[in-house]
Amino acid sequence: MTTRKFTGLLFASPWIASFLLFWLFPLLYSLVLGFTDYRLMAPDYQWVGLDNFTALFSDQAFLSSLFHTFIFVLGTIPVTTVVALALALLVERQFPGRTVFRSGFFMPSITSMIVIALVFTNLYSRGGYIYLLAEMLGLTPPENGFLLSNSTALISIMAMDVWMSVGYYMLLFLAGLKSIPMELYEAAEVAGAGTWRKFRSITIPLLKPVALFILVINTIKSFQVFVEIFVMTKGKYGTSTAVYFIYETGLNRFEFGYASAAAYVLFIIIAIFSLAQFRLFRQRSVW
């Protein structure tokens, strides 16, 4: 019996080592760093208590990066969720060519974000196809392209993000739709319910668990938006986000202490949002 206990520990050891070395240690390390003024240029650091945190909340660069992050999160998630659900409903039933459409919609979400961001950098630029399309539609796009303007850069990146991720969430909604028993719809039909009634009273409530899952993972993901910002605007033109700020501060200016404090602030914000979503959905859950 004791050998079996030992064997179990042995088999679990890859995770134990990985967790301690690459998760727990770094997390505790940065928690400590957050209360110091450690930077690469001055390695003998000192405790500064909560100074980093108070400095952050009067740091214009940090506050505006948080503001952009909130715009990104609150702007993309509702649109992504609704469009993903609409796409899922469009391709739910069997019809000729269904696989082609479903695969095509899904394709962008398994493509490298770097590649997508590069392609859209061209499409959004002056003379790029999206720019030309906007002109054809009678709009007047910013002179230097969508990404080099304070008024359009962030929203253009948000639109790309929606475009890229709807296919992924469509798949999740499709799985959710599939798990709804057919008999419910049949029973509703017998009772004389129309399409809209069935959608409102059966589909929507029964999709709630999937919708919650989608909201939570999308929230965690969107709060961390970084790669597209790095590739497309380098944080300029009103697009600097929280993770971009952490990257800039920590790995360009090497202010490890300050950047660690910023990371913890972001962590706490994300945790609060995720918990709030759970509570919101628990209240009138079908489970």
Partner 1 sequence: MVKLLKYAALTIILAVMVFPLLWMFRVSLMPPTGGLSLGAFFTPIFTLGIYYDIFTSGNMLRYFFNSALIGVIVTAGNILFCFMVGYALSRYRFIGRSFWFYSLVFVLMIPAHIIIIPLYMTIHHLGLYDTYGALILPFLVNPIGVFLVKQYIDSLPSAVEEAARMDGAGELRILIGIVMPLCKPALAVLAIQVFLTNWNSFLFPFILTSSEAVRTLPVGLALYQGHQAIDWPHLMAGSSLAVIPVLLIFLFFQQHIVSGITAGAIKQ
Scan residues 113-172 and list those touching partner 1 (CB under 8 A): 113-116, 118-123, 127, 129, 163, 167-168, 171-172
Residue 142 vs 264, nearer CB to partner 1: 264
- The yes or no reply on residue 25 touching partner 1 (CB under 8 A) is yes
How far apart are alpha carbons 229 and 162 in whole angstroms? 14
- The yes or no reply on residue 235 touching partner 1 (CB under 8 A) is no
- The yes or no reply on residue 23 touching partner 1 (CB under 8 A) is yes
Cβ-proximal residues to 152 (8 Å cutoff; 6+ apart), any chain: 141, 142, 146
Contact window for partner 1 (CB under 8 A) among 24-32, 53-61, 144-152, 182-190 = 24-32
- The yes or no reply on residue 29 touching partner 1 (CB under 8 A) is yes
Residue 151 vs 199, nearer CB to partner 1: 199
Residue 154 vs 160, nearer CB to partner 1: 160
Task: Please work out the total of residues on this chain that contact partner 1, with binding judged by CB under 8 A.
Answer: 82
What is the largest distance, in Å, between two alpha-carbon atoms of the chain? 77
How far apart are alpha carbons 225 and 241 in whole angstroms? 7
- Nearest-approach distance from CB 192 to partner 1, in angstroms: 22
Contact window for partner 1 (CB under 8 A) among 41-49, 50-58, 104-112, 145-153 = 104-112
Q: How many CB atoms lie within 10 A of CB 252?
A: 9
Does residue 270 contact residue 215 with C-beta atoms inside 8 Å?
Answer: no
How far apart are alpha carbons 260 and 222 in whole angstroms? 20
Contact window for partner 1 (CB under 8 A) among 2-10, 47-55, 144-152, 194-202 = 2-10
How far apart are alpha carbons 166 and 133 in whole angstroms? 22
Cα three-residue angle 248-130-143, rounded to 5 degrees: 70
Cα three-residue angle 158-225-217, rounded to 5 degrees: 95
Residue 154 vs 164, nearer CB to partner 1: 164
Q: How many CB atoms lie within 10 A of CB 128?
A: 19
- The yes or no reply on residue 199 touching partner 1 (CB under 8 A) is no
How many Cα atoms within 13 Å fall on the side-chain side of residue 63?
Answer: 7
Does residue 68 contact residue 154 with C-beta atoms inside 8 Å?
Answer: yes
- Nearest-approach distance from CB 208 to partner 1, in angstroms: 12
Which residues ranging from 40 to 79 are in contact with partner 1 (CB under 8 A)? none
Identify the residue among 64, 149, 203, 274 touching partner 1 (CB under 8 A). Answer: 274
Identify the residue among 55, 71, 79, 90 touching partner 1 (CB under 8 A). Answer: 90
39 in helix, strand or coil?
A: strand
